[in-house]
């Protein structure tokens, strides 16, 4: 194989030659897609747009795909670039994530590229409040709670939520070391909001982030380590990094997305003194769907096959405190019900049916 394949300087030149570099520089850009040679699609907040580019031809796309595929697998055992390996998850020189699909998994004469550009935006909680992004939302859960079953802090937090005082709600939730899951589609704004909540955490603690591509920077927390897992090929898994991270004396571990067999390890981490965490996932926009999604991720894992489903669902319900739902950078729903969490804890302890 030509030694130039996988060289970042070569890749940058190829990206420029195809016209992708110019589009990656657009303000507000979130996605780039190439469905067939000659046209580049992109999204920057107002729906999909496209540009015709003659240099975005099959030959140039093939060279770029091969370079990216080799670079993303360098050092691994799977560097094949042919019909027997038509799907490649890749990383561009500046950290953008990409998915490349070749024939026969794609149409003959085409190479599919999808590139996601991580958001560099950072807004504080006041910006979210002042822009109305935390104003028009539905509060999920029971309408009434048994106040005697709750602590003073839980009642105080419920009061902030009822009044839609989201400044005090989120600041208090961080103080209480609650676990928060953000839910939404790709590009919904959940990672950007995660940054805003991360900024509320004390600066004098030790933090570990676990990601596949670097998005969750912590400029206000000097004692931090960023760990990265691979979707495929060489590298550590998210589960490996959770286990390693717990031995690194963290005060908090943030996992940018729950998506696989690391879910059980993540919950175990939260239940062994590392609570006060942030993560995200993809699910339908209701709490039951989120619990079902996380429970299914666990049940489908190797360890999950040995666990009772009731144990799994109660562990999820007793560990996750807050679920917020996101669409177009606006919070559409939020769930916080400590009574249901307390009941799940009691079920785990075998004190109630």
The CATH topology of domain 8-116 is: Beta-Lactamase (3.30.450)
Place of tokens 């059980």: 264
| DSSP-assigned letter for residue 249 | -
**Tokens 């794609």, residue?**
106
How far is residue 70 from each of residues 90, 157, 276, measured CA to CA in Å? 9, 51, 39
CATH code matching the domain that covers 125-348, chosen among 3.30.70.100, 3.50.50.60, 3.40.50.300, 3.40.190.10: 3.40.50.300
Query: How many angstroms separate the CA atoms of 150 and 186, rounded?
Result: 36
How many whole angstroms separate alpha carbon 301 and alpha carbon 283? 18
Ordered per-residue pLDDT tens for the chain, 353 residues: 444 555 889 999 999 999 999 999 999 888 999 999 999 999 987 889 999 999 999 999 999 999 998 866 544 434 456 678 899 888 899 888 899 999 999 999 999 999 998 877 789 999 999 999 999 999 998 666 677 789 999 999 999 999 999 999 999 999 999 999 999 998 899 999 999 999 999 999 999 999 988 889 999 999 999 999 876 656 799 999 999 999 999 999 999 999 999 999 999 999 999 999 999 999 999 999 999 999 999 999 999 999 999 999 999 999 999 999 999 899 999 999 999 999 999 898 884 44
Domains of the chain, by residue range, sit at 8-116, 125-348
The set of residues, in sequence order, having a beta carbon less than 8 Å from that of 162 and lying 6+ positions away, is 139
Give 34's strand partners: 113
> What DSSP designation does 347 have?
H
- Burial of 69-86, coded b for 16+ CB within 10 Å and e otherwise, reads bbbbbeeeeebebeeeeb
CB of 14 closer than 8 Å to CB of 7: no
How far is residue 211's CA from residue 195's CA, in Å, rounded to a whole number?
13
């Amino acid at each position: 194989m030509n030694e130039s394949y996988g060289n970042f300087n070569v890749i940058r030149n190829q990206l420029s030659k195809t016209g992708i570099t110019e589009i990656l520089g657009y303000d507000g850009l979130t996605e780039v897609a190439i469905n067939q040679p000659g046209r580049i699609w992109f999204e920057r907040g107002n729906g999909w747009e496209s540009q015709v580019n003659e240099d975005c031809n099959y030959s140039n796309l093939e060279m770029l795909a091969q370079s990216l595929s080799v670079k993303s697998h360098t050092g691994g055992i799977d560097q094949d670039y042919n019909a027997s390996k038509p799907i490649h998850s890749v990383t561009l020189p500046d950290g953008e994530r990409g998915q490349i699909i070749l024939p026969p998994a794609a149409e003959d004469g085409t190479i599919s590229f999808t590139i996601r550009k991580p958001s560099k935006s950072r807004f504080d909680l006041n910006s979210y409040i002042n822009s109305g992004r935390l104003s028009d939302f539905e509060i999920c859960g029971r309408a009434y709670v048994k106040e005697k079953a709750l602590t003073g802090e839980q009642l105080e937090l419920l009061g902030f939520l009822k009044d839609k005082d989201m400044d005090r709600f989120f600041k208090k939730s961080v103080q209480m070391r609650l676990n928060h899951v953000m839910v939404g589609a790709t590009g919904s704004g959940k990672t950007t909001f995660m940054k805003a909540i991360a900024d509320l955490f004390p600066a004098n603690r030790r933090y570990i982030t676990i990601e596949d591509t670097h998005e969750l920077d912590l400029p206000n927390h000097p004692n931090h380590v960023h760990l990265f897992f691979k979707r495929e090929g060489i590298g550590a898994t998210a589960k490996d990094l959770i286990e390693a991270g717990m031995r690194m004396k963290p005060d908090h571990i943030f996992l940018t997305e729950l998506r696989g067999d690391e879910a059980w390890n993540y919950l175990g981490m939260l239940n062994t003194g590392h609570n006060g965490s942030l993560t995200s996932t993809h699910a339908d926009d209701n709490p039951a769907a989120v619990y079902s999604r996380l429970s299914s991720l666990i049940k489908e894992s190797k360890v999950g096959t040995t666990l009772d489903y009731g144990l799994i669902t109660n562990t999820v319900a007793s560990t996750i405190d807050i679920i917020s739902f996101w669409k177009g950078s606006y919070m559409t729903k939020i769930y916080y019900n400590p009574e249901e969490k307390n009941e799940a804890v009691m079920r785990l302890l075998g004190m109630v049916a």
